Amino acid sequence: MAQPFTKHTTATAAAPPSKSPPPLVTFVFLLVLCILGFYSLHHPHLSNATSPPFSTSKLRDTFLSLSSNNTISTYLRDLTLHPHLAGTEPSLNTIQYVKSHFQHLNLDTHTVKYKTLLSYPAHASLLVHFSNGSVANLSLTEKGTGVFPSDVVQPYHAYSPSGSAHAKVVFVNYGTEEDYRALEVMGVNVSGCLVLARKGESISRGGVISVAEGKGALGVLLYAEGDRLRDGGSGGVERGTVMRGIGDPLTPGWAGVEGGEALDLEDSQVLKRFPKIPSLPLSLENALIILGSLGGGFVPQFWNDSGWVNGLRVGPGPTMVNLTYQGEKKVATIQNVFAVIKGLEEPDRYVILGNHRDAWTYGAVDPNSGTAALLDIARRYTLLMRSGWSPRRTIIFGSWDAEEFGMVGSTEWVEQNLVNLGAKAVAYLNVDCAVQGPGFFAGATPQLDDLLIEVTKKVKDPDSRGTTIYDQWVATNELHNIQRLSGVDSDFAPFLQHAGVPSVDMYYGRDFPVYHTAFDSYEWMINHADPSFQRHVAVAGIWGLLVLHLADDSILSFNYLSYADQLKEHEEILSKMVDGSISLDPLTTAIQELAAAAKEAEDEAKILRELETAGDIPALKMRALNDRLMLAERGFLDSDGLQGRQWFKHLVYGPSGDYESKLGFFPGIADAISRSMKLSRRDGQALIQHEMWRVARAIQRAASALRGELT
């Protein structure tokens, strides 16, 4: 750990008691204070008693120059000495480590605890009965790890129900509806069978199990694809949650605070969050043992996308498998850790940067590469403050707990602070796995695209000498591929999809082979993902600069023209997917309204910047514009939420309820398109049209918020 900063205090002698001043003197003194207070409100730069010794550009250059790959490496090594699954005794070490780091930097530090329902394994076994009469008891430990240390959790699916199943096995490819349709064409029915699926990108882990349950399967075995297990990852088994939705299932919509309301474990609202059939993750090696013993027809040709399943058979059987899983759901205490740098001029406006701390095992990539970067940004900001800098707005560092169980820690905090976040949060900047491998990737709400691009021009590319991340982004055609945050992949989900806070998510490397395995260790990081820790430095540089802009820029760098352009693209895609009898006019009109409001906001911002440059600082007007820029994202929220999933409020970006949906936006419309397939033509069209109107109204609300005027 880097040398901690120590706060120095100077003792002063007690002053003798003084006489009360005459009333007239008191009146004059208070009058002067009022005048000075009014003047500093309109000239807020005067309120900074300790002006920074450098310009804005020098501040950002200094921040970048303070990077230290060795320091980040030390943080990561310390964080990954032991596994730290949320809610377990070893996790307390990382809680204390992060908390102590913030405290040693003399940052305002605190923790917030929640009582939440987590899930742990007790016993699991897998017996394979081959057609020749032989039986194999498959080891469920990871190859190369031997007997698990007591603090490394065995591979399991969190929230899987306990149960046993003895049945024939059917291979279902990725376990999508399309895969099951192919099996039906072959005459294969999975009802009463165990299904074996491989993990893919088109459907979530929980989605695989939900679909299998709907098809009548008795249980699910899930393994990671072979091409994900290269470069030191062979033998790994991917743990993960299979709970539906995010946040504590016992407190849906409110925080699980000590002494607060919590639903019973048998409540119907709670039970619907969990699968009804047991499941287990498998190693590739064990999966191949079962796959190689199946009979029946050969796999469909389109399943052979990875080039190696050709020649395999789908079953059912003749191999029989006996799956047994015993798990325990229990209420455990989780802790979020916070550090706060109070804003000097707008302390009631919050720029939040966060990363989750808990891991399935050692968590070097997921998530502590991000934690190490977070700690280093805090170190660098502290050095800037010692040089006289204070941010204009408040900066909050958030270290979330229990993300791996379904974004539990961040969701509980967002639910607890929903009103204040809705009124005061400028943006949320998330990093989960900071470094997984080569290549920079990012997702954002569209008004932050320009700022994200601008910042990448300032940070050196870690893998190409003499270039910036922006240069490499352009060279690899990733510049115009900023992803949208519709998934529930990390802790940005509650901030954006429930609270409507503009958000960013970023990382180096799209995928890595030791995901959620016991091989996600410090050794794997230094041997494969980032030996020199320069990629960590790059992510921390982008992350920290984004925060500095959002915390210090007099006018927020939000471009809603980009948002309107993105919505137009979404509309064009949607127009090719819906029946011609469904009118897109409401959507078109609403997007035009947003574009007009965005242009007005851009023009206003330009005028205010010119005035600021000329030395005339219209502080109240700038704050009013910033509030409108900040609150416009909230307009996309709908109080009723998505049908059947009311917790998700954002009508532009959020998860679709249909795993096969081709829309990565407008989740309510995507759901309506799926549901319409089971309705009459008239009713289906009416359903889609209604959701179209809901989205149009949301966009109009955003436009109204951006204008800041009542109708």
Helices (H) and strands (E) in the chain, counts: 21, 14
Nearest Cα neighbor of 432 from 498, 487, 358 is 358
Within 378-499, strands assigned E span 393-400, 425-435, 440-444
Listed in sequence order, the residues at least 6 apart from 599 whose beta carbon sits closer than 8 Å to its beta carbon are 561
Compute φ and ψ for 113, nearest 5 degrees: -105, 145
Active site residue 403: yes
Q: Is the dihedral of CA 306, 308, 314, 317 positive or negative?
A: negative
At 492, the amino acid letter reads F
Q: 3-class secondary structure for 137-151? A: ECCCCCCCCCCCCCC
Burial of 189 (0-12, 13-18, 19+ CB in 10 A): middle
Query: Buried b vs exposed e over 10-21: b needs ≥16 C-beta within 10 Å?
Result: eeeeeeeeeeee
Please check whether residue 486 is in contact with residue 444, taking contact to mean a CB–CB distance below 8 angstroms.
Answer: no
What is the distance between the alpha carbons of residues 110 and 90, in angstroms, rounded to a whole number? 20
Instruction: Give pairs for 419-422: CB < 8 Å, separation 24+.
Output: 421/350, 421/495, 421/499, 421/501, 422/499, 422/500, 422/634
Q: Could you say which DSSP state residue 353 is in?
A: E
Tokens standing for residue 594: 């947003």
What is the distance between the alpha carbons of residues 166 and 175, in angstroms, rounded to a whole number? 20
Q: Could you say which DSSP state residue 118 is in?
A: E
At 52, the amino acid letter reads P
Compute φ and ψ for 597, nearest 5 degrees: -65, -40
Residue 205's Cα: distance from chain center in Å?
17
Task: Check 142, 403, 412, 593 and give the catalytic one.
Answer: 403
Catalytically active residues, by annotation: 403
